[in-house]
């Protein structure tokens, strides 16, 4: 792996993290409430784009940079799980279950849609 690829991973990882912050903050501000809508939108949109990239069948370096660096930093499993745990701790069991079920269902659907679109481009 070249130095340029390593730098690309670092830069795109930073870009992905900043994008996650901006999208989460914007969505959470507009859709305030108990449901963690910001991270939900981040994860579903990330699944859609990653599915699209998989459908495009990028080469290994492009897949590393776009999928692992950019989208890996953009999406966030740990925040999703922590927010779900916090909903449970706040006795909002219905919202916690909805966060898990809806995130999984729509995440898989978004990834499949993205892959379908990618294979047709």
d(CA 110, CA 47) in angstroms, rounded, equals 6
Q: Which among 79, 60, 77, 46 has a CA at the least distance from the CA of 8? A: 60
Is 72 known as a binding-site position? yes
d(CA 118, CA 62) in angstroms, rounded, equals 15
Is 16 known as a binding-site position? no
The label of the residue with tokens 């978004």 reads: 110
> Which residues are annotated as part of the binding site for Na(+)?
72, 75
> Which residues are annotated as part of the binding site?
72, 75
């Amino acid at each position: 792996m070249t130095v340029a690829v390593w730098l690309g991973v670092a830069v795109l990882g930073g870009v992905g993290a900043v994008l996650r912050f901006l999208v989460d903050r914007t969505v959470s501000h507009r859709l305030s409430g108990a449901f963690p809508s910001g991270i939900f939108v981040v994860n579903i949109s990330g699944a859609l784009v990653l599915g699209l990239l998989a459908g495009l069948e990028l080469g290994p370096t492009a897949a590393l940079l776009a999928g692992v660096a950019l989208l890996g930093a953009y999406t966030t499993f740990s925040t999703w799980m922590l927010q779900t745990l916090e909903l449970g701790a706040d006795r909002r069991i219905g919202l916690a279950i909805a966060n898990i079920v809806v995130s999984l269902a729509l995440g898989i659907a978004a990834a499949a849609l993205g892959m379908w679109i990618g294979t047709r481009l």
